[in-house]
A and B are shown apart, each in its own frame.
Chain A
Amino acid sequence: MAWQTPVVSSAMSYFNYADWNRVEGNCAALATLLQICGYNVGLTTITSRSDGSYLDFYDSLNRIEGNILALYACYGVSPSGWIIPKTTWTYDMPLSFNDTNRMEGNELALYNQVSGIIQEYLVCGQGLAICGLGWRN
């Protein structure tokens, strides 16, 4: 699944099926990137919403934010802009741009972190910030 640029939403933004697919597809893209680093993260992602007929309930939100948490747990190091995901969704909870921005922001933060690590992987087999070389530089 190819990485797609996350979208920053506002209170006037609509969240359509393509947005759901992007958020879930980016989880899958991050999992693919992490495979390069030796992490095999098994995720369930749904990216086949095609016409708005799919219905997402609170368990979709728990799955998405749970996936983001699982991706984060590979390194366990908070990237810049990281916000702790919410995995306690249930029915009758308001969903706002703060929530979608958290999901997409976390994905972007992880993407930047993991992309950087892949660049630096040749130097120490890790991200420089993680192995300590980054600190020395």
Chain B
Amino acid sequence: MLPVTQNFHKSISVFPRTISATVEFDLVDAMAQSNCTPTSNSIAPIGGVAQAADGMTQTRKYMSEETNYLLLDGIFFTPPKPSDHVAFDSIGWWSAAISDQDGNFAVAYPTLTLTQSASFTSLGLTFVFSPLTGDYCNSIQIVTTDNIAHQTTYYINPTSANYFWSQQLTIITQVVITFYSTNKPYRRVHLAEVIFGEQFLWTGQNLFDLDILEELDPLCNSAPPKEVHASVANNLNNFNLYLGNMQKKQPLKPYLNLIYANGTSETVPMGTFYLYNWRNDANYLSSTLYARDLLDLMDGTMFYKYSYSGSPITLYALAVSVLQDFCAQASLNVTYQIDIALQSISTTGVLSAMSHHDVLMYVAQAGMGAVYVDRYNVLHIRQTVSQQPLNPMPYTEELTLSMQETYPKIAIQDPYNYFTLNIYTSTIASSTSTIYSGTVPITGQISLWVNYTTPASASTCVAVVTVGTLVSATYYTDAAYFTISGSGNAVITITGKAITSTSVQAILNNAGTQPTNEVDLDNPLVTTAAMATSILSWYAAECGNMYLYEVESWGDPSLECGDVIFWDSQYSTNTKQAKIIRQEFRFGGTLSGTINGKGW
């Protein structure tokens, strides 16, 4: 459950309620963002200068002592310290320096330097100052340095807290931004984010429709990504103009805002999604954007770099290596939290080359948990416990009948009572054999991954290349990375000591005198009987939750999949509990939703 205020918790289920939605779409060079290292000469001990380019914007107003800043209306929050390492919000960079009564900074002016590890080209920069409080800097100098050390100086005068500076920037390696003044007196620089491109915001009448789907499989047989569809006004024809820049992992972030009677509002983030498709409607007045979360990106990249040695590796260490490899491949910074319980579970399993998504699913299931991405774009691998909420629940939540548009549909699932799981043992052959033979057309020099026909001990692998020259080779358990030069059809032959795996079956039989209803599990990371026993017990306990709920409700965006709530029905109130496994939010001026749970 998201950490919302008591007021939000009370007001979300009270009629009448007013909800608005915002969709933020960053038409950005995502790689420029991950290649950026921000530094400053003036840093307040809040947030962090690195947060100025982390791709996240601030969702809360935080108290500060600047004159006439902290309004006591109850929607300014106590800020986290940098040492609290919170993941739920990104405050950004606040300068230590404060402007004077006219809003001017004294020398040395606060400066933000963006140093790029690789050059970028963009249509400009978006400065997200402090849209929540309306604070921004209205006089700025920008000095760009390109790849041949040519410097260009610009002076700009932003006019809003969310300001797009439209300027073609080509092959830029460094940007130095100097802030001269603020739009209000006695203010720091409040800069939540610098975006390498343009940020679009749709809200009110420009946002026609917003659908968000969240799913969670507590047993990690699947790890579906969250998905969003947003139909937005395209009367400016933006999506024709930027056609060439689309579909490059641009982030899309929907928010839902609960508006209180006094006109103030509280914003709930609905997640960070990455665009995978878009289409213009027939009249070209609206466009629909389709986006999924990080797990979908992870399904499109491959984890080849697993090296089996026969020595145990902890699931935690394996997960970290998978995530680091994904970050390198996708050029994305991923924030993650892995359950420390996975530090005490080890495996000697053999992993084939597979998507990062699938490896993490195996890791999570072997660790008796689930893998999911939260609303703050943090990837979690967390142990799940039957009948326990996955996330902290600051409030006891009850889905009252007044929140439901019909009585809930309740079904009883046939209980599984017979569980099997394979336990793998692997051995390295005593002699070498051919594990790959294939032909690759080459012109000049190419690099490529080659998948073996069978896993092999990496240290024993040797490749022979004919019709071409082998420049370099790195071997892993199920794949090798080659750089080959030459011309023609290169023939690659790899020999190595193959790894063979055998398995025995662990069984948990809870059927008693009942007919068996069997479920068979298979996970290559399960390599000990003790591990199998724990997993089967965990799996069976979760399968004991047989009641399936489906409710058409008003929708409470503070609820997350994995939360345990009371589901009221015509039969009972505040009695039956279930874990949320699926939520669909539909916003089209008003909010409604379908919510599914699995309960006991």
- Spell out A's residues near B (CB within 8 Å): 9-17, 20, 49, 51-58, 61, 89-100
The interface residues of chain A lying within 8 Å CB-to-CB of B79 are 55, 57, 91
The 8 A CB mask of B150-193 against A (1 = contact, 0 = none) is: 00000000000000000000000000000000000010100000
**Contact between B77 and A93, CB atoms less than 8 A apart:** yes
Inter-chain contacts of B70 with A (CB < 8 A) = 14-16, 95
Q: Is the CB of A54 within 8 A of B72?
A: no
**B44 interfacial by beta-carbon distance below 8 Å:** yes
- The contact of B78 among A14, A17, A89, by CB within 8 Å, is A89
- The reply to whether B74 and A11 contact each other, CB–CB distance below 8 Å, is yes
Chain A interface main SS type: loop
B58 to chain A, nearest CB (A): 12
Instruction: Given A10-B72, A91-B86, decide whether A55 and B65 contact each other with a Cβ distance below 8 A.
Output: yes
Tell me which residues across on chain B come within 8 A of A54, comparing CB atoms.
65
Distance between Cα atoms of A90 and B80 in the complex (Å): 8
- CB atoms of B80 and A96 under 8 A apart: no
A94-B74 in contact (CB<8A): yes
Q: Which of B64, B76, B262 contacts A55 (CB 8 A)?
A: B64
How many A-B pairs with Cβ below 8 Å? 102
Give the contacting residue for A52; candidates B5, B67, B71; CB below 8 A.
B67
Q: Which of B65-96 contact A (CB under 8 A)?
A: 65-81, 84, 86, 88-89, 96
Cα–Cα distance between A51 and B106 once the two chains are bound (Å): 14
Looking at chain B, what size class is its interface with the partner chain? 35 or more
Set of chain B residues within 8 Å of A15, measured between Cβ atoms: 63, 70-72
Chain B residues whose C-beta falls within 8 Å of the C-beta of A58 in the assembled complex: 78
Bound-state CA distance A94–B75 (Å) is 6
Residues of B within 8 A of A56 (CB): 63, 65
Instruction: Show 10 A/B contacts (Cβ-Cβ < 8 Å), sorted by A.
Output: A11-B71, A14-B67, A14-B69, A14-B71, A52-B66, A55-B46, A56-B65, A92-B86, A94-B77, A96-B73
A49 (CB) vs chain B CBs: closest residue: B65
Report the minimum CB–CB distance from A62 to chain B (whole Å).
10
CB distance from A87 to the nearest CB of B (A): 13
For residue B105, give the distance in angstroms from its CB to the closest CB of chain A: 12
A92 to B46 alpha-carbon distance, docked (Å): 13
- Given the complex of chains A and B, what is the CA–CA distance between A89 and B60 in angstroms? 17
Is there contact, CB below 8 Å, between B186 and A51? yes
Q: A13-B72, A92-B60, A95-B78 are in contact. Are A52 and B65 (CB under 8 A)?
A: yes
